[in-house]
């Protein structure tokens, strides 16, 4: 039966759906989950049908759907159900929720294109004498010659210009002279320059090499010195040529950016080599799933050790039961959790089901994606990768591959939990404790928690993994709600890295220098460089300095929109607000008293990188943080260069702390371990402990033993002490004690409510009104604190006030907050002014 109306969810910050009429002609196509174009207010808008109905509300004028965008509904019924659940639980506007689930709206433009085949090329070459072969007509020959002269494929439609019709083209195709393909045209550049060693050049160079002796060991600076290759630098140039050749010989053709990093040469060197005919280059299409390190990569398939075997056995037993369950794989760093994940996915696929693997960082999708492709996919099939650093076109393409069932394993960050897989059997959440699983804007869902809910809805298994589970998760595992699987030791009897504290107070008393690099860390790095192993250095802030102060009047430069100090970025030569993104020029004099004693205070990653370059001039150093890595390719290049041994020291923010399996890292330094302890947040200790333990886990993963140096001004704190011993159990007990005393999660549920507006007065009035609503509920199954000025009192020009709701029963919070939303509507407090964060991770 066909329905005359449907309810459509639109991407607007409102808590309702909208009813539209389905014109007769679209009734076949419009189903729940279909994306549709509809008129909304005065604009066309893309929404998604969440329900078909027989009736429309009587009192409003009903408009018609303009167009259906999908032949097959974009969302499955299960996803629609999940979307409603999330909107309800997190009190998020439905429209925003479904927007987060849908693929980017791009009109996929496709084009039929013609390219010349090898045989076609030969035919053209053999025709130079003017003779006709293959029984070709003159126009056809001219056409082929034209194609041979073109770098780009020719649009099918343009063939008409040459006097060839579809029939003629088809004949050429059948003769194997041309190829005709449907190609998706992206809006972003999707080709890259690839370089290879030119065959003929090999001989000459072998001679140069003999003349010069063995490969020079002068470790180059990764950035490369900008040399153009004058005569006096000839020797130096030969050295670089050798490095380029060695890389290309070892790995085959490489994309330009990657080659520069691996060989440690500048672009100018490569350009010169091209001019001298040593290299050849061409443009190649970039596949979103492709990763240059995939080439020849084989995933290690180890025999499981006894602990892994028993964990995997428990997971398999769960599959046998064929019902929903949550398992926590608690395995110390380097215990081989990935191996257990891969077997579990394999088992899922073998049972004809599909799997999602969630990881906390984009950088990790590369690594885990590669593992998955090596295990399960012919190179680009079977496995899809979804994360926010893909372009819209790439993301849409990956999304639809999944939706069409072409990919049965999805690797991705938070939002990949909505991957449109059917027949879902397993969701893995790696590093389940990570904050990045929580979305800090509407809809404020937690990817891990949604994974569990989705698994339940689809009768699938949720497998959470971590070396340092969140307190909530471990609490559930201990009380039997989740099944606990433990990997207590590292694989192959490798020992945990030894962790030492560097007390910065002592270091200062001894050296009287305020160097962020302690003498112990400096010595450690020197040792690495000498041994030819690698060092990771972590600092938790990006930028050059995170505060700009006037020595004369003490004022610090604040963001114009937020109550936050501006961060100085030296390379970009400006101040930036890390909260709202606003920019200011670097002040020469104090903005308040005009004294010229402005100074920069508090080291960030950019500063640290500069220091390291100064202190270790010969070392190959790179930095990885959100300033240096904005695109997937940039991550790939730096991480690849480090993993491939083309770097000695990698500096970065916490994105380096997680998951990576670098085999040659023997030293990890943490610059200011305690800075995260001082945040006004009840989870400060937990975060510090997790971060330090994770970081410690990056050292000594291969054959070489690892060492970790934690620099701190607060070595007595239990979070730091337990991290040094890498003793999760001890930390868990101490922290649970604190949480119980203070009535914090996991002993209570929490909701954070922020009332905000650019007008201070309105924000105050609305807070008062809301407070009147909350008052009668306080003490009745819930504690309601506030309104108070939020710790971030101003953000993006808005003034902020805060309520904190606590209750041992979450359903109480949901009920009270549901009522609050209705109350706001009645009082005409705008929906956007009241921000509800259920199970908040940050109370700022
Ligand atoms: P985790 O995620 O627990 O920190 P990984 O899964 O990255 O650890 O594994 C650490 C290293 O141990 C990897 O290099 C992996 O290939 C290797 N490994 C995993 N399982 C085994 C095993 N059973 N025997 C030997 N090596 C293993
Ligand atoms: Zn001043
Ligand atoms: Zn700001």
Regarding predicted confidence, which is higher, 649 or 396? 649
Name the DSSP class of 680.
S
Q: How far is CA 68 from the centre of its chain?
A: 32
Give the Cβ contact number of residue 726 at 10 Å: 22
Q: How far is CA 253 from the centre of its chain?
A: 27
> What's the mean pLDDT when you consider all of the chain?
85
668's tokens:
């990890």
| Distance, CA of 641 to CA of 652 (rounded, Å) | 14
Tens digits of residue pLDDT in 47-92: 999 999 998 888 888 999 988 888 889 999 999 999 999 999 999 8
Diameter of the chain measured on Cα atoms:
97
Q: Which residue has the tokens 């506030």?
A: 786
pLDDT (0 to 100) of residue 225: 39
Is the CB–ligand 1 distance for residue 700 below 6 Å?
no
Give residue 402 CA to ligand 3 midpoint distance, Å: 38
Is the CB–ligand 1 distance for residue 491 below 6 Å?
yes
| Contact between 240 and 263 (Cβ < 8 Å) | yes
| Distance, CA of 219 to CA of 365 (rounded, Å) | 30
Is the CB–ligand 1 distance for residue 802 below 6 Å?
no
The burial of 763, by beta-carbon neighbours within 10 Å (0-12 exposed, 13-18 middle, 19 or more buried), is given as buried
pLDDT (0 to 100) of residue 211: 42
| Distance, CA of 390 to CA of 631 (rounded, Å) | 8
| Contact between 282 and 355 (Cβ < 8 Å) | no
Tens digits of residue pLDDT in 722-735: 999 889 999 999 99
**CA nearest 836: which of 817, 823, 822?**
817
Residue 780 contacts by C-beta under 8 Å, 6 or more apart in sequence?
A: none
Is the pTM higher than 0.85? Answer: no
Q: Which ligand 1 atom sits nearest the alpha carbon of residue 308? A: 23
Q: Which residue has the tokens 């990056």?
A: 698
Nearest residue (by CA) to ligand 1, atom 12, is 336
Is the CB–ligand 1 distance for residue 337 below 6 Å?
yes
Residue 103 has pLDDT above 90, yes or no: no
SS3 145: helix
% of the chain residues with pLDDT over 90: 45
Regarding predicted confidence, which is higher, 470 or 72? 470
Task: State the alpha helices, DSSP H only, in 418-468.
Answer: 447-457
Give residue 551 CA to ligand 2 midpoint distance, Å: 7
pLDDT (0 to 100) of residue 432: 96
- The bridge status of strand 191-197 relative to strand 254-255 is antiparallel
Residue 531 has pLDDT above 70, yes or no: yes
| Distance, CA of 357 to CA of 429 (rounded, Å) | 6
Residue 108 has pLDDT above 50, yes or no: no
Cα separation of the two ends of the chain? 51
Tens digits of residue pLDDT in 593-647: 988 888 888 889 999 999 999 999 989 999 998 888 766 677 778 888 998 899 9
454's tokens:
């989705």
- The bridge status of strand 649-652 relative to strand 621-624 is parallel
Residue 295 has pLDDT above 60, yes or no: no
Give residue 564 CA to ligand 3 midpoint distance, Å: 7
Give residue 584 CA to ligand 3 midpoint distance, Å: 10
Residue 743 has pLDDT above 50, yes or no: yes
Give the number of residues written for the chain.
844
pLDDT (0 to 100) of residue 157: 80
| Distance, CA of 553 to CA of 411 (rounded, Å) | 52
Task: State the alpha helices, DSSP H only, in 676-776.
Answer: 684-696, 718-725, 728-742, 760-774
| Distance, CA of 94 to CA of 403 (rounded, Å) | 22
| Distance, CA of 546 to CA of 427 (rounded, Å) | 39
Nearest residue (by CA) to ligand 1, atom 9, is 336
714's tokens:
């607060």
Residue 129 contacts by C-beta under 8 Å, 6 or more apart in sequence?
A: none
| Distance, CA of 716 to CA of 704 (rounded, Å) | 30
| Contact between 820 and 785 (Cβ < 8 Å) | no
The burial of 262, by beta-carbon neighbours within 10 Å (0-12 exposed, 13-18 middle, 19 or more buried), is given as buried
Give residue 337 CA to ligand 1 midpoint distance, Å: 7
22's tokens:
């389905």
| Distance, CA of 668 to CA of 708 (rounded, Å) | 5
SS3 685: helix
Residue 807 has pLDDT above 90, yes or no: yes
| Distance, CA of 463 to CA of 338 (rounded, Å) | 12
| Distance, CA of 557 to CA of 535 (rounded, Å) | 34
Name the DSSP class of 833.
G
Give residue 492 CA to ligand 1 midpoint distance, Å: 9
Residue 363 contacts by C-beta under 8 Å, 6 or more apart in sequence?
A: 624, 629, 635, 639, 655, 660
Question: Crossing angle of helices 77-89/447-457, nearest 10°?
Answer: 130
pLDDT (0 to 100) of residue 191: 64
| Distance, CA of 290 to CA of 367 (rounded, Å) | 12
Tens digits of residue pLDDT in 413-449: 999 999 999 999 999 999 999 999 999 888 999 999 9
Distances (CA, A) of 30 to 17, 107, 405, 571: 16, 19, 21, 53
| Contact between 64 and 8 (Cβ < 8 Å) | no
| Strand stretches in 604-735, DSSP E | 621-624, 649-652, 665-670, 707-712
Tens digits of residue pLDDT in 167-181: 888 888 888 889 887
Tens digits of residue pLDDT in 344-398: 999 999 999 999 999 998 878 888 888 888 888 754 458 888 988 787 778 888 8
Q: How many CA atoms lie within 13 A of 208 on its CB side?
A: 19
**CA nearest 241: which of 283, 198, 284, 281?**
198
Task: State the alpha helices, DSSP H only, in 42-113.
Answer: 77-89, 94-101
Residue 530 has pLDDT above 90, yes or no: yes
| Distance, CA of 729 to CA of 754 (rounded, Å) | 35
SS3 440: coil
Mutate to test the pocket of ligand 1, among 306, 336, 492 (most ligand atoms within 8 A of CB): 336
Give residue 547 CA to ligand 2 midpoint distance, Å: 14
Mutate to test the pocket of ligand 1, among 310, 335, 339 (most ligand atoms within 8 A of CB): 339
Is the CB–ligand 1 distance for residue 343 below 6 Å?
no
Is the CB–ligand 1 distance for residue 300 below 6 Å?
yes
């Amino acid at each position: 039966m066909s329905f005359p109306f449907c309810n459509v969810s639109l991407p607007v910050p409102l808590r309702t759906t909208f009813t539209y009429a389905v014109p007769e002609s679209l009734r076949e196509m419009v189903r729940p989950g279909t994306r549709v174009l509809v008129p909304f207010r005065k604009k066309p808008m893309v929404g998604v049908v969440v329900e078909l109905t027989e009736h429309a509300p009587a009192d409003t004028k009903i408009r018609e759907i303009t167009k259906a965008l999908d032949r097959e509904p974009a969302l499955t019924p299960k996803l629609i159900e999940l979307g409603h659940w999330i909107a309800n639980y997190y009190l998020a506007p439905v429209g925003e929720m479904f927007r987060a689930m849908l693929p980017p709206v791009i009109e996929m433009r496709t084009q039929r294109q013609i390219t010349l085949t090898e045989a076609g090329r030969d035919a053209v070459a053999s025709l130079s004498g003017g003779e006709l072969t293959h029984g070709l007509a003159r126009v056809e020959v001219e056409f082929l010659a034209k194609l041979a002269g073109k770098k780009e494929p020719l649009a099918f439609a343009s063939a008409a210009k040459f006097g060839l019709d579809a029939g003629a083209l088809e004949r050429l195709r059948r003769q194997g002279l041309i190829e005709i393909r449907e190609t998706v045209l992206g809006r972003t550049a999707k080709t890259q320059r690839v370089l290879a060693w030119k065959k003929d050049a090999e001989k000459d160079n072998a001679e140069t090499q003999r003349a010069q002796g063995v490969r020079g060991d002068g470790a180059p600076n990764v950035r490369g010195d900008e040399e153009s290759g004058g005569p006096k630098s000839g020797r130096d140039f030969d050295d670089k040529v050798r490095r380029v050749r060695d890389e290309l010989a070892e790995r085959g053709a490489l994309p330009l950016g990657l080659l520069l990093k691996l060989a440690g040469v500048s672009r100018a060197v490569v350009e010169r080599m091209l001019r001298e005919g040593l290299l050849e280059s061409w443009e190649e299409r970039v596949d979103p799933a492709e990763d240059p390190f995939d080439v020849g990569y084989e995933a290690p398939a180890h025999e499981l050790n006894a602990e892994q075997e028993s964990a995997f056995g428990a997971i398999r037993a769960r599959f046998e039961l064929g019902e929903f369950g949550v398992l926590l794989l608690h395995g110390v760093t380097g215990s081989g959790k990935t191996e257990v994940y891969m077997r579990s996915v394999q088992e899922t696929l073998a049972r004809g089901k599909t799997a999602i693997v969630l990881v906390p960082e984009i950088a990790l999708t590369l690594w885990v994606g590669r593992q998955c492709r090596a295990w399960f996919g012919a190179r680009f099939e079977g496995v899809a990768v979804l994360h926010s650093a893909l372009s819209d076109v790439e993301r849409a393409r990956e999304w639809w591959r999944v939706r069409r069932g072409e990919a049965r394993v999805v690797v991705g960050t938070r939002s990949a939990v909505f991957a449109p897989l059917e027949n879902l059997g397993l969701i893995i959440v790696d590093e389940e404790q990570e904050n990045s699983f929580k979305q800090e804007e509407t809809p404020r869902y937690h990817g891990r928690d949604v994974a569990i809910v989705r698994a339940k809805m689809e009768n699938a298994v949720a497998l959470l993994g971590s070396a340092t589970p969140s307190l909530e998760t471990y609490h559930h595992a201990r009380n039997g709600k989740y099944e606990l699987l433990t990997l207590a030791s590292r694989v192959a009897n490798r020992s945990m890295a030894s962790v030492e504290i560097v007390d910065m107070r002592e270091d200062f008393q001894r050296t009287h220098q305020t160097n962020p690099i302690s003498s112990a860390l400096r010595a450690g790095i020197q040792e690495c460089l000498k041994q030819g192993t690698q060092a990771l250095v972590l600092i938790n802030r990006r930028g050059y300095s995170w505060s700009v102060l006037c020595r004369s009047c003490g004022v610090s430069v604040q963001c114009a929109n937020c109550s936050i100090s501006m961060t100085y970025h030296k390379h970009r030569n400006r101040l930036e607000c890390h909260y709202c993104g606003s920019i200011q020029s670097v002040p020469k004099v104090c903005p308040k008293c005009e004294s010229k004693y402005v100074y920069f205070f508090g080291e960030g990653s950019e500063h640290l990188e500069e220091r390291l370059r100064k202190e270790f001039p010969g070392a190959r150093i790179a930095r990885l943080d959100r300033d240096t890595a904005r695109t997937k390719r940039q991550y790939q290049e730096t991480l690849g260069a480090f993993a491939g041994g083309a770097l000695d020291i990698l500096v970065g923010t916490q994105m380096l702390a997680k998951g990576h399996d670098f085999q040659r890292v023997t030293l990890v330094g943490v610059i200011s371990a305690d800075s995260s302890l001082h945040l006004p947040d009840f989870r400060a200790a937990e975060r510090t402990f997790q971060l330090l333990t994770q970081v410690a886990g990056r050292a000594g993963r291969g054959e070489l033993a690892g060492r970790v140096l934690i620099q701190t001004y607060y070595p007595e704190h239990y979070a730091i002490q337990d991290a040094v011993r890498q003793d999760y159990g001890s930390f868990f007990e101490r922290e649970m004690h604190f949480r119980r005393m203070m009535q914090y999660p996991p002993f209570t549920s929490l909701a954070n409510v922020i009332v905000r507006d650019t007008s201070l007065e309105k924000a105050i009035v609305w807070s008062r009104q809301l407070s009147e609503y909350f008052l009668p509920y306080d003490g009745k199954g819930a504690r309601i604190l506030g309104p108070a000025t939020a710790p971030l009192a101003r953000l993006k020009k808005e003034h902020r006030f805060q309520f904190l709701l606590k209750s041992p029963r979450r359903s109480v919070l949901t009920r009270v907050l549901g009522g609050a939303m209705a109350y706001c509507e009645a009082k005409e407090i705008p929906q956007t002014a009241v921000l509800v964060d259920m199970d908040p991770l940050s109370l700022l």
